[in-house]
Amino acid sequence: MAEILSKFPVLTVIYMMPLLAVITLLFIPDKNHKAIKITSLSFSSVSFLLSIILFLSYDFQKGGLQFVERYRWVPSIGINYFMGVNGINVTLVLLTGIIIVAGVLASWGVDYRPKEFFMLLLTLVTGVFGVFMAYNLFLFFLFYEIAVLPMYLLIGIWGTGNKEYSAMKLTLYLLVGSAFILAGILGLYFATGLNTFDFDVLEKFEYSKQFQIIFFPILFLGFGVLAALWPFHTWSPDGHASAPTAVSMLHAGVLMKLGAYGCLNIAVYLLPGGAKFWLPFVALLTVVNIVYGSLGAFAQKDLKYIVAYSSVSHMGIVLLGITAQNSTALSGSVFQMFSHGVMTGLFFGLVGMVYGRTHTRMINEMSGLAKKMPALAAFFIMTGLCSLGLPGLSGFVAEILTFIGSFKTFPVITIICVTGIVFTAYYVLRALQIIFYGKYDEKFDHLTDANKIEFITLFILMFFIVIFGMYPFYIMKVINSAVLPIAQKLLMP
Amino acid sequence: MEKILLSGFLLVVLPFLAFLIIVTFTKRFKMLSALISITAIFISFILSIIILVWQLKDPSSFLKYDIPWLYIGNLKMNIGIIINSLTAIMLLVVTTVSLLVQIYSISYMKGDEGFSKFFGFISLFSFSMLGIVISNNLLQLYIFWELVGLCSYLLIGFWYFKPEAADAGKKAFVVTRFGDFGFLIGILIISYLSGTFDILEIENFVKNGTLSDKMLLIVVILLFCGAIGKSGQFPLHVWLPDAMEGPTPVSALIHAATMVAAGVFMVARLFPIFSASPDAMLFIAYLGAFTALFSATIALTQDDIKRVLAYSTLSQLGYMMLALGSGGYVAGMFHLYTHAFFKALLFLCAGSVIHAIHSNNIWQMGGLHKKMPVTSITFFIAALAISGIYPLSGFFSKDEIFLSILYSGNKLLYYSAMFTAFLTAFYMFRLYFVTFSGKPKEEKNVHESPLVMTVPLIILALLSIFSGFIGIPDIKFSIHKFLFIEHLKEAHFDFKVALTSNIIALSGILLAYLIYGLKIINADNLKQKSGIIYNILKNKYYIDEFYMFLIKNIYYTSTEAIKWFDRHIVDGAVNLVAFLCRWTGGKLKLTITGRVQNYAMYIVLGVILIILAIYVYQPDVMNIVRR
């Protein structure tokens, strides 16, 4: 399989598919909703299938960058077309593929200006795919901006509630992050003086200690904002709550991972000296993320806010893994990116489905729904269990690896973070109990269980949670192959 | 050898397959689901007998096999099997009780909407529980440990539309999670120190004595936290009585015979590690003794038949911990084994009664002996067994416990255990006399349960009578020889101890007979005379109320505080930045007037400012200009 893949530019095809869909959509009349949806679905399915093939054909024994495509673009200032994937990238590309197919399926009910909706959604995904493959920092930044900007319109137009405020807040926040990132990237560019944005060159350069200590926080914070690092997380609950279902799924599922990915694969990888200096401080913030997020989730009444705060808490685990600086914790952290991405996609998808039926997201207004929608309840419960780290589902593997790894570096901090598992169990089970258990109310008589499309959406997502939770051996090998060089760099004095 | 390993593997996997088949295919066909589930556990039962027979040939041998699950660098996590005498005996207990309970459930759960689901969950539970039993490493133990917790949650909340059941399920999960939190940290620490999860390797590591006593104490106590949660030791016992909201067969299987004993089993499995720390062992012994006494006193006053049994379970689990803590490895496991049978029997009898009466309240029962003879007789046997009357199974295992406490030399624990035995006999026979003797309370159409239910009762009753005989010292297949570990001090049969315990138990039974059977002593008078004490016991020492108080006042308040903080301080800061930008923008825009005069003035002012600045800071430049 790998030989066939190496004969054509598979990476470009994967990220171009959504873009092609956008172009095709231009030629489809507004009113033909069905054609719009089917076009979007078929193009994104190609990306999805290719991302699975890519994941399976990546040779983790060899490691390093594979499927590289490298062409000169603007050589005078070192901008090149340089795409490639390592173990972290293939995992996250796979995640993006899963989420976009599920997201398109979850938007099957969008009837308000669907053409524009899908165009923006797919543009966003193009950007996300691009970020996870680009190894020229200029290209990286370009894709990064493509991924962030459509969010504004998607929330502002198709959102609910206080959508203008949320959209503005989110966009401004992320743009501030981008400004930091741009500053950081330019810093790297000029510090080397090699006149290139190519990652492999920048990575080999030895930056002075002082430079690293100044520029690491700039890059890390820039990405950290998108990863919901406390106290820069408040854009996320508001943004999630206002966004339409598919956007929440993509947003929490993939966009937040862009941030975490940048923190790890750009900031820490390029500036390990700065990382070693600053990460112990960041570790303290991640404790706040984890514990504060899970306590905050408990007090919320709106389902989307609950899930959003739980995302803050789970992203804390990703960041905790990064701060721990050893290969076990880093692997756990990357796997948590994947696991949380799929899980939160499920969560937001389910919330959307429940909301579409009950027309409320306030948990206190629902009760006993399991009777009327057993399938949705079962999926919801399984997702909840994944989120509280139940063995057999992917969340457990990710969390336990992160904790095992981070215990070596920060024992006390880890112990505090582990309390998060108790709090998480409490708020998850409480929400489940209120919504699905208890006395059934007759006002829900007209509600129906998941339909076929919804069922398929949920099934795709759940499949990956269960399969990687039961047998994490393969994916962990893939991830570990990419994490080792970073861990080695951190080990060097 | 390989066949034994294979059967060990199959025995665990079969119930899981049954679960998968039931959930995905046969949900609509109720009897088929039950059949699949029962067939699976029946084969497991046969396999566990095969393993036991094999193990009997050479009790000290063991088999071990690992399948790689997750390797990262030098961190190796396996899914593995260990088969030794401890595994063999526990497998037998779990499969036997599970099989009988499932057969019983066919009738008990008849007509329930979730009939298939019930059998699916029970199969999942059997899988997880057997998974704990065969685990050879701590991580796998933890995985299945959590899975049984999940099954317990799902099955307590089986009738999820009952708010109490939904509450109880959540409570069980969250409370045991507190214990699991300690357990997980314990696992993290010990595996970090020893560099492995494998139990045998950790044992060797501990034996080598590289750990300081203090560190070992901390690790052992943390690991024990898991057992405190799962086996309902004080102060995490509060979930078990509430768990009785689940269907009665579930209470019998999960919350009496098997899952709650997982904590005891875990201590037994890790016994070489635990016993390396005498301080920790003493702590375990005291906690066990306290839980035993404490729960027995609560059981005296409860009116719900299942709750009395639940407190009695807590009390008996306390006994097991006490035994283990006193170094009585055999005694603890022996009591787990006998207890599984008679306690499952008690619950199934209670289920049979509840099935007939449709109430849990013992005061609405009475005089059931004539109408339900089989239930009554089997209950009577179980009550005798739990009271430790010779020659029923409970006698042998309890005697073993008393001996091991005596052997450890702690008089206080010994007397407390004896006193608990008195209370046990009393509350069990209070239950028996109130429920089965005297006159029928209401003229309901009550009759004996069908054969599917009574046959398991009879089998369990036979087990409750005869299963203790393996405790007779010096016979060929005695449990002492079977569960032998090196360097363990052996306690020997002591006629005085046996006689004392029997007299104490009999006096408890006699007292119950006087009060509730013959009614010579008036129960209501006693209640009034004991006043406050009665109220405290009746309200379970107000511990639930105390926890609720803490949760409401500390937990809820802090979550609300965080919500407020996030909304107003963190987000306030964000909005403040936005506001400042807008405000400065608003002020600055006033300078853009559109009048040329204004702009010209700004320019002139600017030039003057620059000149002034140069004049002040760089007078030399001015000289150059003048020239």
Structural domain spans, chain A: 2-491
Nearest to B161 among A292, A385, A439 (CB): A439
Which pair of structure tokens corresponds to residue B532?
């406050």
CB–CB contact B163 A437 (8 Å): yes
Which segment of A189-193, A218-222, B74-78, B110-114 scores lowest on mean pLDDT? B74-78
What's chain B's average pLDDT? 88
Q: Residue B286 pLDDT > 90, yes or no? A: yes
> Which ranges constitute the DSSP H helices of B513-588?
523-538, 543-550, 557-564, 571-588
Separation in Å, CA of A295 to nearest CA in chain B: 5
Task: Tell me if B574 and A169 make a contact (CB, 8 A cut-off).
Answer: yes
Nearest CA in chain A to B557: A299
| Phi, psi torsion values for B237, nearest 5 degrees | -80, -10
Contact B181 A422 (CB under 8 A): yes
Residues 229-258 of B with CB under 8 A from A: none
Axis-axis angle for helices B262-269, B138-156 (nearest 10): 170
**Is the per-residue pLDDT at B313 higher than 90?**
yes
DSSP string, B145-211: HHHHHHHHHHHHTTSTTSHHHHHHHHHHHHHHHHHHHHHHHHHHHHHHHHS--BHHHHHHHHHTT-S
Selecting from B70, B169, B180 the residue whose C-beta is nearest the C-beta of A397 gives B70
B111 Cβ under 8 Å from any chain A Cβ: no
What's the pLDDT at B356? 85
Say which residue, B528 or A323, is predicted with more confidence: A323
**Is pLDDT above 70 for B101?**
yes
List all residues 6 or more positions away from B261 whose beta carbon is below 8 Å from its beta carbon.
B231, B317, B320, B336, B339, B340
Closest alpha carbon to B433 in B376, B485, B381, B374: B376
pLDDT digits (tens, 9 = 90+) for B524-579: 777 788 778 888 888 888 888 888 888 888 888 888 888 888 888 888 888 888 88
Asked if A404 and B560 come within 8 Å (Cβ–Cβ), the reply is no
Q: Write down the pLDDT at residue A261.
A: 93
pLDDT range class, residue B303, cuts 50, 70, 90:
confident
Q: Are residues A421 and B150, on separate chains, in Cβ contact within 8 Å?
A: no
> Could you tell me which chain B residue has the CA closest to the CA of A292?
B562
Taking each helix axis as running N to C, give the angle between helix B30-57 and helix B115-134, from 0 to 180 degrees, rounded to the nearest 10: 20
Contacts of A379 in chain B (CB under 8 A): none
The least confident of A456-465, B249-258, B584-593, B617-626 is B617-626
CB B158, CB B145: distance < 8 Å:
no
pLDDT band at B96 (very low <50, low <70, confident <90, very high): very high
What is the mean predicted confidence (pLDDT) over B449-477?
A: 86
pLDDT value, residue B482: 80
pLDDT exceeds cutoff 80 at B106:
yes
What's the pLDDT score for residue B160? 85
Contact status, residue A486 vs residue A269, Cβ threshold 8 Å: yes
Strand duo B63-72 + A79-85: pairing: unpaired
Q: Which of B69-73, B166-170, B508-512 has the lowest mean pLDDT?
A: B69-73
What is the rounded distance in angstroms from the CA atom of residue B200 to the CA atom of residue B186? 16
Q: Which residue has the higher pLDDT, B509 or B409?
A: B509
pLDDT averaged over every residue in chain A: 89
Nearest CA-CA distance, residue A369 and chain B, Å: 9
Q: What is residue B24's predicted lDDT score, i.e. its pLDDT?
A: 86
Report the pLDDT value the prediction gives residue B444, as an integer from 0 to 100: 65
Kindly report, residue by residue over A246-291, the tens digit of the pLDDT.
888 888 889 889 999 999 999 999 998 889 899 999 999 999 999 9
Q: If you average pLDDT over residues A80-106, what whole number do you get?
A: 92
The sign of the torsion formed by the CA atoms of A395, A398, A404, A409 equals negative
pLDDT of residue A91: 93
Contact yes or no for B70/A397 (Cβ under 8 A)? yes
Query: In chain B, whose CA is at the least distance from the CA of A288?
Result: B562
> Cβ contact (<8 Å) for B166 and A298?
no
Cβ of A425 within 8 Å of Cβ of B177? The answer is yes
Q: B562–A292: do the CB atoms touch at under 8 Å?
A: yes
A392 to chain B: closest CA residue: B143
CB nearest A438 (choices: B161, B174, B578)? B161
Q: For B138-190, what is each residue's pLDDT tens digit?
A: 989 999 999 999 999 999 988 888 888 888 988 999 899 889 989 999 998 88
Q: Is the pLDDT of residue A2 over 70?
A: no
Q: Do B185 and A390 touch (CB under 8 A)?
A: no
Angle at A413 between CA A411 and CA A416, to 5 degrees: 110
Among the partner-chain residues A397, A401, A425, the one whose CB lies closest to the CB of B173 is A425
Q: Distance (Å, rounded) from C-alpha B317 to C-alpha B268?
A: 13
Residues 191-220 of B with CB under 8 A from A: 191-192
Could you say which of A231, A295, A404 has the minimum Cβ distance to residue B558?
A295
Whether the CB of B534 is below 8 Å from some CB of chain A: the reply is no
In sign, the C-alpha dihedral spanning A373, A374, A379, A385 is: positive
Count the neighbouring beta carbons within 10 Å of the beta carbon of residue A493: 4
Out of A385, A426, A440, closest to residue B174 by CB: A426
Structure tokens at A484: 């080792």
Burial grade of A89 (CB within 10 A; 0-12, 13-18, 19 or more): buried
| Range with top average pLDDT, A439-453, B266-280, B563-577 | B266-280
Q: How far, in Å, CA of A69 to CA of A81, rounded? A: 7
Nearest CA in chain A to B175: A422
> pLDDT tens across A294-322, in order?
888 888 888 889 999 999 999 999 999 99
Of B454, B463, B442, which is closest to residue B377 (Cα–Cα)? B454
- B85 to chain A, minimum CA–CA distance in Å? 27
**Residue B189: closest CA among chain A residues belongs to which residue?**
A407
Of B68, B191, B192, the CB nearest to A473: B68
Least CB–CB distance from B571: residue in A234, A396, A408: A234
Q: What share of chain A has pLDDT > 90, as a percent?
A: 33
Q: What is the mean pLDDT of residues B425-440?
A: 87
A422 contacts B178? CB cut-off 8 A: yes
For β-strands A66-74 and A79-85, DSSP reports them as antiparallel
Interface test with A, best of B71, B559, B569, B579 (most A CBs within 10 A): B559
Which residue among B70, B150, B161 places its CB closest to the CB of A371?
Answer: B161
**Neighbouring-strand partners of residue B66:** B80
The larger pLDDT score, comparing residue B617 to residue B295, is at B295
Please tell me chain A's helix, strand, coil percentages from 3-state DSSP, rounded to the nearest 5.
Answer: 80, 5, 20
Contacts of A414 in chain B (CB under 8 A): 188
Omega of the bond leading into B391 within 30 degrees of 0 (cis): yes
pLDDT band at B474 (very low <50, low <70, confident <90, very high): confident
Question: Model confidence at B627, in pLDDT bands (50, 70, 90)?
Answer: low
What pLDDT, on a 0 to 100 scale, did the predictor assign at position B622? 65
Please tell me the pTM assigned to this model: 0.89
Checking if the pLDDT of B625 tops 70, the result is: no
Pairs of CB atoms within 8 A across A/B: 129
pLDDT band, residue A127 (cuts 50/70/90): very high
Which among B147, B166, B562 has the least Cβ separation from residue A433? B166
Binary contact (A422, B566; C-beta < 8 A)? no
**Per-residue pLDDT, B355:** 85
Q: Has residue A233 got a pLDDT over 90?
A: no
Percentage of chain B modeled with pLDDT above 90: 38
Instruction: Centre a 10 Å sphere on the Cβ of residue B354 and count the other Cβ atoms it contains.
Output: 18
What pLDDT, on a 0 to 100 scale, did the predictor assign at position B528? 80
Decide: A408 and A323 in contact? Cβ < 8 Å: no
Min mean pLDDT across B104-113, B236-245, B472-481 is at B472-481
Q: Which chain B residues contact residue A390 at CB under 8 A?
A: 146-147, 150
CA distances from residue B564 to A304, A331, B561, B568 in whole angstroms, order as listed: 17, 35, 5, 6
For residue B193, the chain A residue with the least C-alpha distance is: A408
Residue of A366, A298, A389 lying closest to B551 (CA atoms):
A298
The shortest C-alpha distance from B31 to chain A (Å) reads 21
Q: With a cut of 90, say whether residue B438 has pLDDT above it.
A: no
Torsion angles phi and psi, residue B590, rounded to 5: -65, -25
B190-225: pLDDT as tens digits: 888 888 889 988 988 888 878 888 889 999 999 999
Q: Is the pLDDT of residue A112 over 90?
A: no
Half-sphere exposure at residue B375, Cβ-oriented, CA atoms within 13 angstroms: 30
Q: What's the CA gap between A196 and A192, in Å, rounded?
A: 8
Interface of B with A in 552-581 (CB under 8 A): 555-556, 558-560, 562-563, 566, 570-571, 573-574, 578
pLDDT at B487 over 80: no
Nearest CA in chain B to A412: B185
CB pair distance less than 8 Å for A439 and B75 = no
- Residues of A within 8 A of B556 (CB-CB) are 299
